[in-house]
């Protein structure tokens, strides 16, 4: 097996890893701040992709403009969901699970009714293929890679260097202390939830030109997100990065070298092994 073969697998691993990291970061943000498991997270991924298709198809917007509008719309929906739906079940784990599951069903069914059952496609803003020593890297694959890195850098900058980001981190660390320091907890919750949904939608926007779009496209990314989050540690953003890379590599290399069934066995095998010795995940704190 030559270098081109391994390079092709590495390219695939990078794309998958970045997608998983982006999804898991949003999920962890929500869990870290609000303490809920958002079962509708994959649905926001679907909505991001569907919105960009809708804006491009119905209004003729460019991909970039449609993408920005899509994440903005997802942000707004996320905010409204937290403000009017989640706030009433704050602290109630079962209630929050039921509501997020309900949101999953509602959004998925609504997407099916509004945009139809057929798979849809978003034309890529970039075309062409780069041949790197026999390995093929389409430009439309470079787009989600670069896009995901930009989004992650923006997230990092926001959380580390802005006042709002600092307040979110404070709430994550100690809710009561943050409230005593004058941080508006309700606002932080809504912001955190909305940003989490936005990150999922951004992943959907970035992947839309690469794959097809359907109302059920969020289910696989959701359970992959669960794997990454549990493996990396619930609420841990650095853990999401490490686990996302691990899962991306396993998915790419094991599927290519063996089979997709083997990738499932291998992937879950690693997760179980790690969790046996480290129940809180690779970098989890709870």
Partner 1 sequence: MLKRWTSIGVALVVAVSLVVVFLARYAKPAAAEKTGTFVIGAITPMSGLGASWGIPQTKGLGMAVDSINKAGGVRIGDTHYAIDLKLMDSKLDTAEAVSCCHKLIEQYKVKAIFTSDSAAGVAIRDIRDAAKVIGMDSGWSRDISKGTKYQFRFQPGSYETSLALYRYIKKIDGPGTKIAVLDPDYEGGWADTNYVKSWAKKYNLDLVFSEFYTPGTKDFTPILTKLLRKKPSYIDAGCSGGDYPILIKQAYDMGYRGTLIYKGDTMVRDMLEIAGPERAFGVHATFGLLDFVSKKATSEQRAVYKKVMETVGYVNTLLFTSYDGVFMLKQAWEGSGSLDADVVCNWLRTHEWHSIARGENIRVAPEAAGIYHGNKGCATTAPVSLVQMRPGGIYESWCLEAPEWESEFHEPPKNIKK
Residue closer to partner 1 by CB (options 29, 263) is 263
Residues in the chain: 286
8 Å CB contact between 218 and 43: yes
Alpha carbon distance 188, 138 (integer Å)? 40
Instruction: Kindly list the distances between the CA atom of residue 147 and the CA atoms of 5, 11, 80, 89, 140, in Å, as whole numbers in the listed order.
Output: 25, 15, 26, 35, 11
**Shortest Å, Cβ 178 to partner 1:** 40
Q: Is the Cβ of residue 87 or residue 124 nearer to partner 1 in the bound state?
A: 124
Ramachandran bin of 91, using left for φ above 0, alpha for ψ from -120 to 50, beta for the remaining angles: left
- Rounded to a whole number of angstroms, the minimum distance from the CB of residue 173 to partner 1 is 37
Please, which residues bridge with residue 136 across strands?
Answer: 131
Specify the residue, 10 or 68, whose C-beta has the smaller distance to partner 1: 10
Closest approach, Cβ 94 to partner 1, in A, equals 26
Angle ∠(238,101,261) on CA atoms, nearest 5: 65
209 versus 284: smaller Cβ distance to partner 1: 209
Q: Binding residues for partner 1, per CB under 8 A?
A: 5, 8-9, 11-12, 15-16, 112, 117-121, 123, 129, 131, 136, 138, 140-141, 210-212, 214-217, 220, 251-253, 255-257, 259-261, 263-264
- Minimum CB distance to partner 1, residue 21 (Å): 16
* Shortest distance in whole angstroms from residue 84 CB to partner 1: 28
- For partner 1, give the closer residue by CB, 8 or 172: 8
User: How many alpha carbons lie under 13 Å from residue 17 in its C-beta half-sphere?
Assistant: 22
């Amino acid at each position: 097996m030559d270098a081109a073969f391994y390079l092709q697998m590495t390219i695939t691993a990078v794309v998958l890893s970045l997608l998983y990291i982006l999804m898991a970061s949003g999920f962890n943000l929500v869990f870290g701040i609000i303490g809920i498991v958002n079962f509708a997270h994959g649905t926001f991924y679907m909505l991001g992709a569907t919105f960009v298709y809708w804006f491009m198809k119905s209004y003729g917007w460019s991909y970039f403009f449609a993408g920005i509008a899509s994440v903005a719309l997802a942000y707004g929906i996320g905010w409204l969901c937290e403000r009017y739906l989640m706030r009433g079940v704050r602290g109630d784990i079962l209630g929050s699970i039921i509501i997020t599951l309900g949101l999953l069903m509602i959004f998925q069914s609504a997407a099916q009714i509004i945009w139809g059952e057929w798979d849809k496609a978003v034309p890529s803003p970039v075309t062409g293929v780069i041949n790197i020593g026999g390995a093929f890297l389409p430009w439309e694959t470079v787009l989600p890679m670069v896009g995901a890195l930009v989004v992650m850098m923006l997230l990092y900058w926001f959380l580390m260097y802005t006042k709002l980001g600092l307040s979110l981190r404070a709430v994550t660390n100690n809710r009561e202390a943050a409230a005593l320091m004058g941080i508006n907890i309700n606002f932080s919750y809504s912001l955190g939830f909305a940003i989490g949904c936005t990150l999922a939608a951004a992943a959907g926007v970035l992947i839309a030109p690469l794959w097809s779009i359907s109302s059920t496209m969020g289910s696989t990314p959701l359970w992959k997100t669960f794997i990454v989050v549990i493996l990396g540690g619930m609420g841990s953003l650095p853990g999401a990065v490490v686990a996302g890379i691990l899962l991306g590599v396993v998915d790419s290399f094991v599927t290519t070298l063996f089979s997709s069934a083997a990738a499932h066995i291998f992937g879950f095998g690693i997760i179980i092994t790690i969790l046996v010795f480290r129940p809180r995940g690779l970098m989890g704190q709870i």
